[in-house]
């Protein structure tokens, strides 16, 4: 029994995870090598690093029989490998008395793989959304794989239908990873006399994410995907499981039933690429002359304007049309790759005055 706060009141609760007194420490073996180089009187720098990491006996809580009185049991599990590289390139392309330009580029790539979990366990669920995909660790697959049902298609790409129900047949597929394997950043700083301008770009590539918001909006007829058929009914065509041609007309009165199934039975169609390039930060600053501020004993003064999360410069077309922020995740834990009904990141603009005495 443990004490928790529920609605601001102290409450007793039975824990749902069984503790394990035989837990062993996590062991990590890392091989790493790199080089740091400077050129042109340190106006150009390159830092390259490669790593290979093996993590064994990670502490996780797989599900156990409910007959024990618990939902999960804490134990040491498996072997995970991570291999990748990190690159940082910085330079000063222009350096003059009244003008300079400094630039910094950094990039990282990580490839993960679940080598083993435990005896009798090949798949471990990290998280799931109601009616949505499951985020899993499975032997032979990358960490945080997104698995979901999609509409089945035959070898030629034609949809396969259940002849009895008229619905598309489900097919369980692995659609990608929730953690982006590639991350990049680009920073620029320009200085002209007393003015300075800093522009930082941020990007992530290679991951996918599920939108619970778009799925439920589709189920209840609030997305453009549910417009076909509203006037005269919807005709669906494809093949049956045996390869025979299939056609069915869904009348207008039954469209809500069809689209409810369309929006709930195939959550994989609401899994999007979460690739993005963002204008993460921009800062414009002016250094004030201190002669006029001598009476205040000010050594340095500046005024400026700062903006954060100003724009999404690139994102997947489907994500943009859906109005989703590709960076939003439902959790900060291991189960990356799922979005709930959450507000996007806010755009912030601020003004500042800095005085140094």
- Annotate 254-302 with DSSP letters as a single string: GHHHHHHHHHHS-GGGGEEE--EEEEEEEEEEEEEPSGGGGGGT-SEEE
pLDDT of residue 2: 56
The position carrying tokens 């009348």 is 251
- The two tokens of residue 283 are 């800062």
DSSP-based three-state secondary structure for 212: helix
Provide the mean pLDDT of the chain: 89
| pLDDT score of 4 | 57
What is the number of alpha carbons within 13 Å of residue 44 lying toward its C-beta? 4
Q: Report the alpha-carbon distance of residue 93 to residue 8 in Å, rounded.
A: 58
Q: What is the pLDDT of residues 262-305, one digit of tens each?
A: 989 999 999 999 999 999 999 999 998 877 677 777 788 899 99
Residues contacting residue 249 through CB under 8 Å, at least 6 positions apart: 233, 234, 235
Q: Percent of the chain at pLDDT above 70? A: 94
pLDDT of the residue at 166: 94
When comparing pLDDT for 21 and 338, which is higher?
Answer: 21
pTM over 0.85: no
pLDDT more than 90, % of the chain: 62
Is the confidence at residue 190, as pLDDT, over 90?
Answer: yes
Look at residue 70 in the predicted model and tell me its pLDDT: 85
pLDDT tens by residue, 79-94: 999 999 999 999 999 9
What CA–CA distances, in Å, run from 260 to 145, 254, 286, 333, 339?
26, 10, 57, 31, 20
pLDDT surpassing 90 at residue 44: yes
The larger pLDDT score, comparing residue 5 to residue 19, is at 19
The string of pLDDT tens digits covering residues 323-336 is 888 887 666 566 67
Would you mind telling me the total number of residues written for the chain in this entry? 357
* Between 322 and 92, residue with greater pLDDT: 92
What is the per-residue pLDDT for 175? Answer: 95
The yes-or-no verdict on residue 61 having pLDDT over 90 is no
pLDDT higher at 312 or 298: 312
Query: What pLDDT is attached to residue 8?
Result: 66
Poorest-pLDDT segment among 22-36, 141-155, 316-330:
316-330
pLDDT at 58: 87
């Amino acid at each position: 029994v443990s004490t928790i706060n529920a609605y601001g009141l102290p409450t007793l609760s039975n824990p749902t995870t069984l503790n394990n007194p035989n837990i062993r420490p996590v062991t990590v073996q890392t091989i790493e090598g790199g080089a740091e180089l400077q050129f042109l009187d340190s106006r150009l720098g390159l830092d390259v690093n490669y790593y290979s990491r093996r993590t064994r006996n990670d502490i996780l809580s797989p599900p156990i029989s409910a007959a024990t009185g618990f939902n999960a049991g804490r134990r040491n599990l498996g072997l995970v490998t991570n291999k990748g590289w990190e690159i940082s390139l910085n330079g000063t392309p222009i350096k003059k008395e009244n003008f300079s330009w400094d630039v910094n580029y950094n990039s990282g790539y990580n490839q993960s793989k679940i080598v083993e979990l435990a005896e009798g366990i090949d798949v471990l669920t990290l998280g799931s959304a109601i009616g949505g995909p499951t985020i899993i660790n499975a032997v032979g697959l990358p960490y945080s794989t997104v698995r979901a049902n999609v509409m089945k298609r035959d070898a030629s790409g034609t949809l396969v239908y259940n002849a009895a129900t008229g619905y598309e047949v489900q097919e369980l597929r692995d659609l990608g990873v929730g953690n982006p394997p590639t991350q990049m950043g680009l920073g620029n700083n320009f200085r002209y006399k007393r003015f300075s301008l800093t522009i930082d770009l941020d990007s992530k590539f290679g991951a996918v994410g599920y939108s619970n918001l778009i799925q439920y909006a589709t189920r209840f007829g609030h997305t453009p995907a549910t417009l076909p058929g509203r006037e005269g009914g919807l005709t669906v065509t494809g093949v049956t499981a045996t390869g025979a041609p299939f056609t069915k007309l869904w009348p207008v009165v039954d469209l809500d039933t069809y689209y409810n199934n369309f929006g709930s039975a195939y959550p994989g169609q609401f899994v999007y690429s979460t690739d993005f390039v963002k204008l993460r930060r921009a800062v414009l600053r002016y250094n004030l002359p201190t002669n006029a501020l001598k009476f205040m004993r000010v050594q340095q003064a500046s005024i400026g304007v700062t903006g954060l999360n100003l724009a999404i410069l690139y994102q997947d077309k489907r994500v943009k049309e859906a109005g989703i922020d590709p960076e939003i995740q439902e959790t900060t834990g291991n189960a990356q790759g799922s979005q709930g009904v959450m507000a996007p990141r806010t755009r912030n603009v601020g003004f500042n005055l800095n005085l140094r005495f």
